[in-house]
Amino acid sequence: MLSPQDNVRKASAEAELKIDAHLLSCRKREDVYRVIRIYAAKGESIAPDAKCYLQCLVKDFEHNGLNLTTAKREEVGRLKDEIDELSLRYVQNLNEDSSCLFFTEAELAGLPVEFLQSLDKTQSKEFKLTLESSHVAAILELCKIPKTRKTVAMAYGKRCGDANIPVLQKLVQSRHRLARLLGYAHFADYALDHRMSKTSTTVIRFLEDISSSLTDLAIREFSILKDLKRKEEGELPFGVEDLLYYIKRVEELQFDLDFGDIRQYFPVSLVLSGIFKICQDLFGIKIEEVTETDVWYYDVQAFAVFDSGSGKLLGYFYLDMFTREGKFSHSCVVSLQNNALFSNGACQIPVALLIAQFSKDGGGEAMPLGFSEVVNLFHEFGHVVQHICNRASFARFSGLRVDPDFREIPSQLLENWQDITKPLVDEVCKTLKRWRYSFCALKSLQEILYCLFDQKIYSEDDVDFSQLIRSLHPKVMLGLPVVEGTNPASCFPRAVIGSEATCYSRLWSEVFAADIFASQFGDGHPNPYMGLQFRDKVLAQGGGKEAMELLTSFLGREPSTQAYIESRTKYGL
């Protein structure tokens, strides 16, 4: 992912494919499954984390059909191959889509000159617009011409309709058949079996609860947008394609924020020192740079993390912060080594890697960060802390190998703090907070809409995709109909590969992180006692215990959605 040498990256990718293939073959070893199942059936007295590990091993094998007859096991294998092939075909159709639209300069009024200059032009001087997400987002946020916005939204939502809707129909049916072979009512319950939510019923209830709780605020937000559209465009009906444009317009009118000017407050070194200070104060850790160590690129930094009370080494992390040619192009945290206990009692130390994509100027100096980059860095460093503080005995439950519904909660929690040496004036801080929450209800409803669509197609039989979106859209989006002729079933890759039946998970994490922050850290200052409690009771336990059990133990009650709703109501418009 990160080597400056292309041949090393290529060899690593090839090795990874071989390792994945080997792991898959291991999960199909019937001889090993029989031994483990016999041992599990004995019910011998073992430590709780070992018992959990044993249960996970058995489930791994049984998700590959090893508890089924030979014929059914072969059907499981055939269905998995079919699902992989259909998923790949769906995504390839989107990647290979070459649809484009042509507009005159007048029809693109409001777009920056730099954007227009980046577009190809026809001999008749029309601009060629592809349906890449960056082009579409620019039109929907900035174009002053309502007809152009609607044309683009309609074309974007119709992509690959004839090709992909039949593919998704077959894919959903195949996933349901696979789930039923493995003993589940439908695919959603199969996908949620290892997660906090457990069942599709819980997820749908969660989404509908958030939706109904945000409706009053969303109505107020929507009224502001409709009023502005009426002033600027007369009595033209408000469509969903107008949302991004008028949210942007209201933010420009209501918030006096110069994000270019704000950058001066966020040099990378200052932001990092602030993040380190917060985490050290909050979680009882000490971070020290390690200079005498080999790294794969000259500007990569290495750090050791110690318990501030005992001085015990907890782990290490690397920071690879700046873009360069050939480098993996996303921001994320990668596990280089997980915590684990050996049979002789020795401990394997966790090692994490934070990859970011920050810029340098022409002289090689780090550029100050934009506000969204600062928020993202806080978020990703939360994963580093989570990895380092995880003390699970088994590597299977260490690092970030925890319940996927829980994985983002510590990072969402850390986003609530900010500490910089050169402070922004209070008024700018308040404005930034209001800006972050502006139109939060409408934005959440849009996310809930697609999460519900995803959940329902995988928890019900023979779903009519078009009918489902036509009924869901106005119900969730305050009466707004879906853009004419569009259907997320044709261009919704999250529901196909990677997040199928689990699109709700990001919102789930955000809601419960808000509950933890409001109830345990409500004044916004690092609370060392509660921070240590969170580190010991939640982070240290890793994935060897049920995530809901850990949060309930820490909070003294079951997690609630109330803090999330109240924060949106408090800071929203």
Better pLDDT: 185 or 255: 185
Whole-number Å distance between alpha carbons of 25 and 37? 18
State the sign of the Cα–Cα–Cα–Cα dihedral 142, 145, 150, 155: negative
Domains and CATH numbers, the chain: 6-92+163-183 (no CATH), 98-158 (no CATH), 200-257+430-571 (1.10.1370.10), 263-418 (3.40.390.10)
Q: What is the pLDDT of residue 343?
A: 87
Under DSSP, the state recorded for 391 is -
Q: What is the pLDDT of residue 435?
A: 87
pLDDT (average), residues 437-465: 96
Cβ-Cβ contacts under 8 Å for 12 (sequence gap 6 or more): 1, 3
Checking if the pLDDT of 3 tops 60, the result is: yes
117 alpha-carbon distance from chain centroid: 33
Checking if the pLDDT of 523 tops 80, the result is: no
Structure tokens at 139: 């039109």
Cβ-Cβ contacts under 8 Å for 120 (sequence gap 6 or more): 127, 128
Report which of 175, 160, 2, 7 is spatially closest to residue 82, judged by C-alpha positions: 175
Position 524 confidence tier, pLDDT thresholds 50, 70, 90: low
Checking if the pLDDT of 421 tops 90, the result is: no
Better pLDDT: 257 or 17: 17
pLDDT (average), residues 228-236: 94
pLDDT (tens digit per residue) in 154-200:
999 999 999 999 999 999 999 999 999 999 999 999 999 989 999 99
Whole-number Å distance between alpha carbons of 192 and 499? 11
pLDDT (average), residues 114-124: 94
pLDDT (tens digit per residue) in 218-229:
999 999 999 999
Q: What is the pLDDT of residue 433?
A: 82
Q: What is the pLDDT of residue 428?
A: 81
Cβ-Cβ contacts under 8 Å for 418 (sequence gap 6 or more): 274, 374, 378
Checking if the pLDDT of 83 tops 70, the result is: yes
Percent of the chain with pLDDT over 90: 86
Q: What is the pLDDT of residue 418?
A: 64
- As a three-state string, the secondary structure of 115-180 is HHHCCEECCCCCEEEECCHHHHHHHHHHCCCHHHHHHHHHHHHCCCHHHHHHHHHHHHHHHHHHHH
Q: What is the pLDDT of residue 530?
A: 94
Q: What is the pLDDT of residue 570?
A: 78
Checking if the pLDDT of 71 tops 90, the result is: yes
pLDDT (tens digit per residue) in 86-118:
999 999 999 999 999 999 999 999 999 999 999
380, 415, 500, 510: which is the annotated catalytic residue? 380
Position 420 confidence tier, pLDDT thresholds 50, 70, 90: low
Structure tokens at 113: 């000159």
pLDDT (average), residues 514-536: 89
Q: Is 380 a catalytic residue?
A: yes
- As a three-state string, the secondary structure of 229-293 is HHHHHCCCCCCHHHHHHHHHHHHHHHCCCCHHHHHHHCCHHHHHHHHHHHHHHHHCEEEEEECCC
Position 573 confidence tier, pLDDT thresholds 50, 70, 90: low
pLDDT (tens digit per residue) in 477-520:
999 999 988 999 999 999 999 899 999 999 999 999 999 999 99
Q: What is the mean pLDDT of the chain?
A: 93
Whole-number Å distance between alpha carbons of 176 and 456? 12
Checking if the pLDDT of 419 tops 90, the result is: no
Whole-number Å distance between alpha carbons of 559 and 548? 8
Whole-number Å distance between alpha carbons of 309 and 280? 11
CA angle, 100 as apex, 94 and 105 as ends, to 5°? 145
Percent of the chain with pLDDT over 70: 98
Task: Concatenate the DSSP letters of all residues of 56-78 into one string.
Answer: HHHHHHHHTTTTS-HHHHHHHHH
Checking if the pLDDT of 522 tops 70, the result is: yes
Strand-pair category, 351-358 with 313-322: parallel
Checking if the pLDDT of 368 tops 90, the result is: yes
- Asked if residues 87 and 495 have their Cβ atoms less than 8 Å apart, the reply is no
pLDDT (average), residues 352-374: 94
Checking if the pLDDT of 402 tops 70, the result is: yes
Report which of 485, 460, 560 is spatially closest to residue 518, judged by C-alpha positions: 560
Q: What is the pLDDT of residue 118?
A: 93
Whole-number Å distance between alpha carbons of 397 and 18? 23
Position 434 confidence tier, pLDDT thresholds 50, 70, 90: confident
As to burial, measured by CB atoms within 10 angstroms (0-12 exposed, 13-18 middle, 19+ buried), residue 523 is exposed
Whole-number Å distance between alpha carbons of 190 and 284? 39
